[in-house]
């Protein structure tokens, strides 16, 4: 258990921290100069050479040297667009299989980089992030826990990221509204703006650090239960990537390194998993996401491993994004038809106008039926990522959990299609059959390390419950997850489910949970 400390916003504590930083500043400068003078290493001749420093100083900690990655240089492209991936990149194999157990206690070592900038309470929060939070959030094996492999490695040279990760640890150990969390998040924000975002000529490294910062800030706000600030960070990250030249350029310029794949996969995950997506669609088109992750099998290149957020089931997340975008498009068409029907009912209309509107409605329902069939077919044909599944074939317990999660998401996608594409009421036999089938999967996963992936699933299953018994079942699962996970977004999702029950006591109408969010003024993350 992490000991509670008084806030570092206390004047004496802050002064003590500032003195520590001042005292050791020259030591940090010397280390940074050594890093910047290190030789630049070629990564892939056909793609480009790195201009990112490779750490070779024998005095640096083994943890530091083991986890830092390397970028490269390429031509610009628009957000999400991608050209053919060179064969040399397809065979690129990055050595990132690190046993983090070797580096326990490095965070608290007096000689560590972190101790130059963080006082004891800050180090304790950072340790809590490393040993607890990063493992709670991650559904992949330790070997591909990029919360550690990417974010902690960046924190070793970037004070802003150190503070941000300390704040993330504090959300869980101290509570999201604690003075410690507020202090470290404030420091992270000030530093990222001073050292990177305020730079009109931001270099590649600066973009990389800034993207890390925004994704961490998004995670902090989501875990805190925020329903607005997280999306401001997401929008800022979107604009940052757009100004760089797009997702594909970002990936290419960093030689498709595992660290950068994780950043883009994390961005894609947050883009899909929110109420905003079901309201206005994804910020990057699903065509571009499919080009990156499906057509070019981006996560299969090299040794990326199993994704910390999406596990082996990214194919189903991509389909979920298509379902949401289709819902946005069809909902807009329904609004126009509804307005036309209202207009005709208020005025004396000619038979030709009435016939024309009827034909429009028929065409709309044909489109709905076709879209439903196409998306359902994709859901039914979807399979977990084969290369990622192969990595855990020898671990039956873990394999079963990932396959169970996949099947539960497949059922949820079918429920989405019925509820939001076909506008089927929750009490229908089709929805209820899927709901009851889901319960067995939920019971298994609630007790597993997959807990962090269940918010969206419980939301859809929750609003589909139409009787007291089923609602009690879902209530107990929410309670168990929140008690174990203590993430604020789980609490927010539960609020939406309860409100849907008040509005739809018998499940006889199709409740749009996004409309509840909009009436609350929420941009709800369900990731």
pLDDT band at 302, cuts 50/70/90?
confident
Task: Look at residue 445 in the predicted model and tell me its pLDDT.
Answer: 95
Task: Look at residue 296 in the predicted model and tell me its pLDDT.
Answer: 85
Pairing of strands 48-49, 42-44: antiparallel
Question: Going by C-beta distance under 8 Å and a sequence separation of 6 or more, which residues neighbour residue 477?
Answer: 442, 443, 446, 454, 458
Task: Look at residue 109 in the predicted model and tell me its pLDDT.
Answer: 53
Q: How far apart are CA 402 and CA 406, in angstroms?
A: 6
Find, among 315, 504, 526, the residue nearest to 419 by Cα: 504
Task: Look at residue 81 in the predicted model and tell me its pLDDT.
Answer: 52
Q: With both helix axes pointing from N to C terminus, report the angle between 314-346 and 258-272 in degrees, rounded to the nearest 10.
A: 30
For the segment 200-222, the average pLDDT, to the nearest whole number, is: 96
For the segment 66-77, the average pLDDT, to the nearest whole number, is: 32
pTM: 0.81
Across 44-48, 114-118, 408-412, least confident range:
44-48
Q: How far apart are CA 7 and CA 5, in angstroms?
A: 6
pLDDT band at 355, cuts 50/70/90?
confident
> What's the half-sphere exposure (Cβ side, CA atoms, 13 Å) at 13?
15
Q: What is the pLDDT of residues 304-316, one digit of tens each?
A: 999 999 999 999 9
Q: What percentage of the chain exceeds 70 in pLDDT?
A: 78
| Cβ neighbours around 362 below 10 Å, total | 10
Find, among 156, 159, 171, the residue nearest to 125 by Cα: 171
Helix (H, G, I), strand (E, B) or coil at 372: helix
Q: What is the pLDDT of residues 234-290, one digit of tens each?
A: 999 999 999 999 999 999 999 999 999 999 999 999 999 999 999 999 999 999 999
Alpha carbon separation from 98 to 68, 143, 376 (Å, rounded): 11, 6, 40
Find tokens 């924190």 and name the residue.
155
The token duo for 337 is: 């038809």
For the segment 363-375, the average pLDDT, to the nearest whole number, is: 97
- Is the pLDDT assigned to residue 67 strictly greater than 90? no
Question: Going by C-beta distance under 8 Å and a sequence separation of 6 or more, which residues neighbour residue 487?
Answer: 222, 223, 225, 452
pLDDT band at 113, cuts 50/70/90?
confident
Higher-confidence residue of 292 and 56: namely 292
- Is the pLDDT assigned to residue 56 strictly greater than 80? no
Alpha carbon separation from 35 to 57, 229, 521 (Å, rounded): 7, 35, 47
Q: How far is CA 157 from the centre of its chain?
A: 24
Task: Look at residue 346 in the predicted model and tell me its pLDDT.
Answer: 63
- Is the pLDDT assigned to residue 224 strictly greater than 80? yes
- Is the pLDDT assigned to residue 25 strictly greater than 80? no
For the segment 11-36, the average pLDDT, to the nearest whole number, is: 38
Task: Look at residue 41 in the predicted model and tell me its pLDDT.
Answer: 27
Find, among 187, 184, 185, the residue nearest to 122 by Cα: 184
- Is the pLDDT assigned to residue 3 strictly greater than 50? no
Q: How far apart are CA 402 and CA 408, in angstroms?
A: 10
Q: How far apart are CA 113 and CA 147, in angstroms?
A: 18
Q: How far apart are CA 216 and CA 167, in angstroms?
A: 10
The token duo for 319 is: 């389909």
The token duo for 84 is: 């053919």
Across 17-26, 360-369, 391-400, 495-504, least confident range:
17-26
- As a whole number, the mean pLDDT across the chain is 82
- Is the pLDDT assigned to residue 55 strictly greater than 80? no
Q: What is the pLDDT of residues 386-398, one digit of tens each?
A: 899 999 999 999 9
Q: How far apart are CA 225 and CA 413, in angstroms?
A: 25
- Is the pLDDT assigned to residue 474 strictly greater than 80? yes
Q: What is the pLDDT of residues 423-436, one digit of tens each?
A: 999 999 999 999 99
Task: Look at residue 101 in the predicted model and tell me its pLDDT.
Answer: 38
Task: Look at residue 112 in the predicted model and tell me its pLDDT.
Answer: 66
């Amino acid at each position: 258990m992490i000991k509670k400390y008084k806030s570092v916003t206390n004047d004496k504590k802050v002064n003590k921290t500032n003195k520590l930083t001042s005292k050791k500043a020259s030591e940090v400068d010397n280390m940074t100069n050594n890093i910047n003078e290190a030789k630049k290493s070629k990564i892939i001749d056909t793609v480009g050479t790195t201009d990112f420093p490779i750490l070779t100083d024998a005095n640096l900690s083994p943890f530091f040297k083991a986890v830092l990655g390397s970028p490269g240089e390429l031509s610009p492209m628009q957000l999400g667009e991608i050209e053919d991936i060179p064969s040399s990149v397809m065979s690129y194999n990055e050595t990132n299989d690190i046993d983090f157990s070797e580096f326990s206690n490095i965070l608290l070592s007096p000689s560590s980089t972190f101790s130059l900038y963080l006082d004891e309470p800050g180090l304790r929060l950072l340790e809590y992030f490393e040993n607890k939070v990063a493992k709670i959030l991650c559904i992949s094996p330790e070997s591909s826990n990029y919360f550690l492999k990417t974010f902690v490695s960046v924190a070793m040279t970037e004070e802003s990221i150190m503070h941000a990760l300390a704040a993330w640890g504090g959300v869980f150990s101290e509570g999201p509204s604690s003075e410690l969390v507020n202090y470290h998040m404030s420091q992270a924000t000030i530093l990222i703006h001073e050292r990177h975002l305020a730079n009109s000529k931001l270099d590649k490294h600066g973009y990389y650090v800034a993207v890390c910062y925004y994704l961490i800030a998004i995670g902090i706000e989501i875990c805190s239960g925020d329903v607005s600030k997280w999306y401001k960070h997401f929008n800022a990250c979107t604009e940052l990537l757009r100004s760089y030249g797009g997702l594909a350029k970002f990936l290419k310029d960093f030689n498709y390194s595992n660290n950068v794949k994780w950043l883009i996969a994390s961005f894609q995950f947050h883009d899909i998993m929110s109420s905003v997506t079901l309201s206005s669609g994804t910020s990057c088109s699903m065509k571009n996401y499919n080009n990156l992750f499906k057509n070019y099998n981006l996560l299969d290149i090299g040794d990326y491993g199993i994704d910390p957020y999406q596990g082996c089931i990214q194919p189903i997340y991509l389909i979920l994004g298509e379902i949401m975008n289709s819902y946005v498009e069809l909902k807009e068409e329904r609004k126009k038809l509804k307005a036309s029907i209202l207009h005709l009912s208020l005025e004396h209309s000619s038979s030709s106008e009435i016939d024309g509107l009827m034909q429009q409605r028929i065409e709309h329902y044909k489109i709905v039926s076709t879209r439903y069939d196409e998306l359902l077919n994709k859901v039914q044909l979807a399979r977990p990522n084969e290369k990622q599944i192969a990595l855990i074939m020898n671990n039956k317990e873990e394999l079963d959990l990932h396959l169970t999660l996949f099947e539960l998401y497949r059922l949820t996608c079918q429920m989405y299609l019925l509820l939001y594409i076909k506008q089927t009421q929750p009490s229908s036999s089709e929805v209820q059959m899927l709901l009851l089938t889901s319960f067995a999967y939920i019971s298994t996963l609630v007790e597993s390390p997959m807990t962090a992936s269940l918010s969206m699933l419980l939301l859809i299953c929750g609003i589909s419950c139409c009787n007291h018994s089923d609602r009690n079942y879902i209530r107990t699962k929410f309670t168990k997850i929140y008690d174990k996970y203590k993430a604020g977004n789980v609490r927010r999702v539960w609020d939406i489910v309860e409100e849907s029950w008040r509005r739809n006591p018998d499940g006889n109408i199709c409740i749009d949970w996004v409309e509840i969010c909009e009436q609350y003024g929420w941009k709800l993350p369900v990731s």
